[in-house]
């Protein structure tokens, strides 16, 4: 759980949209943004995962498949005042280059990279009109700087997220737009547990994932969300094009 805030909310007055908000890092970012005073549009392709948020007065729910350009544009049209866009939806494909099917690579790019291009294209024009906006992309430490076994398609696509982030930051640096990314290490989440269970022995798989973390534990979704709050806030107005690695020393 996040510690009790003993300061003024950092995101008061900001309207933020989060993709992949149904669970894991996306849900923790929604919770952290709300705790820091933001109004949040929580999106997911499965809106049933967002049902428990419907009663919150500062949350709007939107069905959105980030790979569907028409759906993304419709949500952007309905929410023209978004100050902070968080691209969190993603997919992890397993396998080496010899194991991965062509579909694995194309799906990884569609969900992990093209989806971010879709949302940025949709929400950026209104940000440019206001000369103000923050974009936060969830990349991975398994990308441009470090590989991991059996993550060919995933690492390739997440490396592209880092490049996408820096390109958007560079192109709009003088127009009030900031674009940064977060590269987590191994984080405890429903997605990770699903992958561990798929290996057949949950505890053995968990021990293997923990073993590659020098701190001796998995990260938490709340720890990633805390970094997202910083990047969304005015405290980070001098930051753009940054790739913040939060991986428990995995990449050292």
CATH code at 85? 3.40.50.720
pLDDT, position 179: 98
- The rounded distance, in Å, linking the Cα atoms of 80 and 83 is 9
Q: Do 18 and 215 touch, CB atoms closer than 8 A? A: no
Residues 50 and 115 placed together within one structural domain of the fold: yes
Residues 209 and 117 placed together within one structural domain of the fold: no
Is a pLDDT exceeding 90 seen at residue 139?
yes
Of 88-92, 100-104, 145-149, 199-203, minimum mean pLDDT range: 199-203
Is a pLDDT exceeding 70 seen at residue 200?
no
Mean model confidence pLDDT for the chain: 92
Query: Collapsing DSSP states into helix, strand and coil, what is residue 246?
Result: strand
pLDDT band for position 199 (50/70/90)?
A: low
Catalytic residue among 83, 154, 186, 247: 154
Is a pLDDT exceeding 50 seen at residue 1?
no
Residues 59 and 172 placed together within one structural domain of the fold: yes
Residues 111 and 200 placed together within one structural domain of the fold: no
- How much is the pTM? 0.92
Q: Answer yes or no: is 136 within a domain.
A: yes
Residues 197 and 135 placed together within one structural domain of the fold: no
Q: Answer yes or no: is 115 within a domain.
A: yes
Query: Collapsing DSSP states into helix, strand and coil, what is residue 137?
Result: strand
Tokens representing residue 12 in the block = 């008061």
Q: Answer yes or no: is 6 within a domain.
A: no
Residues 119 and 164 placed together within one structural domain of the fold: yes
Of 26-35, 70-79, 106-115, 197-206, minimum mean pLDDT range: 197-206
Range of the domain at 210: 187-218
Of 6-15, 29-38, 160-169, minimum mean pLDDT range: 6-15
Looking at the 3D structure of the chain, how many domains does it have?
Answer: 2
Is a pLDDT exceeding 80 seen at residue 103?
yes
Residues 69 and 88 placed together within one structural domain of the fold: yes
Residues 71 and 144 placed together within one structural domain of the fold: yes
Is a pLDDT exceeding 60 seen at residue 109?
yes
Q: Answer yes or no: is 197 within a domain.
A: yes
Residues 73 and 176 placed together within one structural domain of the fold: yes
Q: Is 154 a catalytic residue?
A: yes
Considering only residues 176 and 196, tell me which one the structure prediction assigns the higher pLDDT. 176
Considering only residues 199 and 176, tell me which one the structure prediction assigns the higher pLDDT. 176
pLDDT band for position 195 (50/70/90)?
A: low
DSSP characters over 146-163: B--TTBHHHHHHHHHHHH
Q: Kind and range of the H or E element at 179? A: strand 177-184
As to burial, measured by CB atoms within 10 angstroms (0-12 exposed, 13-18 middle, 19+ buried), residue 195 is: middle
């Amino acid at each position: 759980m996040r510690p009790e805030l003993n300061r003024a909310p950092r995101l008061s007055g900001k309207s933020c949209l989060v993709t992949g908000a149904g669970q894991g890092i996306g849900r923790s970012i929604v919770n952290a943004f709300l705790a820091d005073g933001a109004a949040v549009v929580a999106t997911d392709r499965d809106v049933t995962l967002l049902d428990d948020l419907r009663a919150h007065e500062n949350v709007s729910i939107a069905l959105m498949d980030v790979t569907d350009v028409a759906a993304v544009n419709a949500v952007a049209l309905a929410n023209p005042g978004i100050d902070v866009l968080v691209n969190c939806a993603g997919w992890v494909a397993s396998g080496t280059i010899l194991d991965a099917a062509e579909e694995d690579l194309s799906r990884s790019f569609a969900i992990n990279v093209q989806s971010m291009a879709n949302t940025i294209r949709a929400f950026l024009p209104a940000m440019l009109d206001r000369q103000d906006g923050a974009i936060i992309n969830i990349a991975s430490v398994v990308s441009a700087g470090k590989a991991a076994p059996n993550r060919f398609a995933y690492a390739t696509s997440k490396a592209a997220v880092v490049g996408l982030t820096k390109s958007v930051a560079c192109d709009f640096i003088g127009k009030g737009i900031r674009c940064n990314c977060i590269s987590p290490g191994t984080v405890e989440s429903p997605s990770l547990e699903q992958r561990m269970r798929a290996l057949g022995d949950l505890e053995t798989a968990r021990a293997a994932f923990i073993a590659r973390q020098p701190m001796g534990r998995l990260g938490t979704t709340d720890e990633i969300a805390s970094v997202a709050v910083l990047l969304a806030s005015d405290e980070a107005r001098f930051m753009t094009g940054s790739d913040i690695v939060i991986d428990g020393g995995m990449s050292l």
